Structure 1
Amino acid sequence: MEGDPDSLGQEVSKPCPSPSLSSSSFRGDLESSVESRSNPPYGTTIKVIPYRPGEEVEEEQEGEDLMLLEKEVLTDIILHLQGQGDKEHGEHFLLGIPTLCRATKQRGEDTLEPETCKVVLLQKIMGLMETVTQDEEPNRILCYSIAAICNLSELKPALEPAMESCLLQTTLKICLTSPRHNSLYVRTKQQKHMEDLEAILRSLLATAPSLDRLQFLWEHLTSWLQSPDALDRVKAMRSSRALFRFAVSLLPQFEDSPSMPQMGDTAAQLCLSLSHPTADISCQARESIYLLAQILLHHKGKKARPGCKTPMETILLSTH
């Protein structure tokens, strides 16, 4: 078996269409799946090679392997878009998207075609994410979904704000809602969910770093900072701090904004958490204010004044 490429996969019955993303025949198949939902012919036996995240391949073989993988994952993607397949097939669909994006970028392209493809894929991803519950048995749906979203965010066309907002709300609800039970498994799963949430926030900010975009992302966290559940508030503040930290690392890439977009409201809301009785919240709020001061001072092109005793004093003095 070792060294035999045929041993990597197994023969299964799948639909016929699986050409390259750049070919006109694939566009026709995908448009048909999205618009008419017509079923492709069955009966063709193909070789499915599983995608293994993190698996290293030799550089000279990567291009050829990606082309082969792309043809196979397109079959899974088209099948899922037509509403066919079970939960396991949904996982194959999610795993196929990073491969599809990698293959697209390797061809020197930065756009998924047809233009509606990206939105339709994200809608399907959100549908799968909504099947994830806090207390269910271990599953990989959320992890695979976040990886797929992060890869799609690197390709054009840019999403409409309403679509991004829906995507964020779905992700926040899954990642920040506290579970009913507090077992070791649930706590470990929650930690992974938080890492997934921070990954998607970083990915969405990196697509177009700016004060406006930072404010847009942070606004989706504000309602969770006022949650009646203390654990939800702690997690929301942690995500806020992670977002501001990443924003500081991206400051050289930030686009110019004609004016500061309501960042005073952001600072005020963070200040309200400084005296919070929960130590985690107050400490993270203090760090978030300091990071926000760095961001605003960079935007104004000024350095921190040595006489300032607090980050908030720095923000206020920089406005004069």
Structure 2
Amino acid sequence: MRLIKHPVLCNYYVTYRCNAKCGFCDIWEKPSPYVTLENVRENLLSLRQLGVKVVDFTGGEPLLHQQIDQFFALAKELKFITTLTSNALLYPKFAERLRGKVDMLHFSLDTADKEKHDTMRGVACFDFVMESITLAKSLGERPDILFTVFEDNKTDIQAVYEQICLPNDLMLILNPAFEYNQVGDQLSDETLDELEAWGRKKNVFLNQAFVTLRRDGGNHISEPVCKAASTTLVISPENELILPCYHLGEKSFPINGNLEAVYRSPEVQHQIATEGRLPACEGCTINCYMQPSFAVETSKYFWHSLPSTLKYNWKKGTWKQVFA
């Protein structure tokens, strides 16, 4: 049964450009403009009208945008829950300007081994993550560590948890790797078992439904779990609405100053109706679209997702805004 029929999340790509070259991501390979402050202002107003609660200003590396703090200020004025994920290279530059504006601040860190992490990310950013943790905490922020789990770094979870997260009272978000466009990774059953055990520990967030979905073979077009297009609006740096999701990107619709009208148009609604049913959707496990998909419809994935979601939002205090 569908519980929420309006979109709840916006993945707002402020640029596809990135100052890292992660081997498990191909976004940084794209040429890209930067979004404009005027477009962001217009689109945030439309997102409120459409019922969106959470805005994730993303990329690429979102902190490459010189006006990123102004985007967050606008979003907070409009009562959005805001989220930012960064490799932390530029966080020290923006930390003071972002103070109090980011509800869910994530620093990407995939191992406690400096050389290994920098190799995985294609740039020397480990030291910047460590500096950013200290700086963020000094400003009263509560950052999280976002750990993307692969077969070759799963044994590093322990050190990140014990050496970095627990001493700093940080949430460790375990982000199981997924495959798309010939990049990414597929996790073994043994690794999924290990992740389930980690998810039960203090200060660790693992969406159990991610594990369940992988054990079930991912999304199936005959009975789709994915509700990407109806739960999540994807806005590109070119100020286009991308459907049914960023990674598939079948269609793009110029927004032209009226996101709400574009979203409600017959053409877009027709594209939304294909969510999870296109040939490329078979077997999909992309976390950033499955998380909202699990939240809007009662199913076993909803119930498997609920405990960890409540755990995280209770720890962060964002549950108050979810129900505001």
Q: Same fold (TM over 0.5)?
A: no
Report the TM-score, using the length of structure 2 for normalisation.
Answer: 0.27
* Structure with a larger share of its residues in strand: 2
**Which structure has the larger Rg over C-alpha atoms?**
1
Q: If each structure's helix is expressed as a fraction of its own residues, which one has the higher value?
A: 1
Given the two structures, how large is their TM-score scaled by the length of structure 1? 0.27
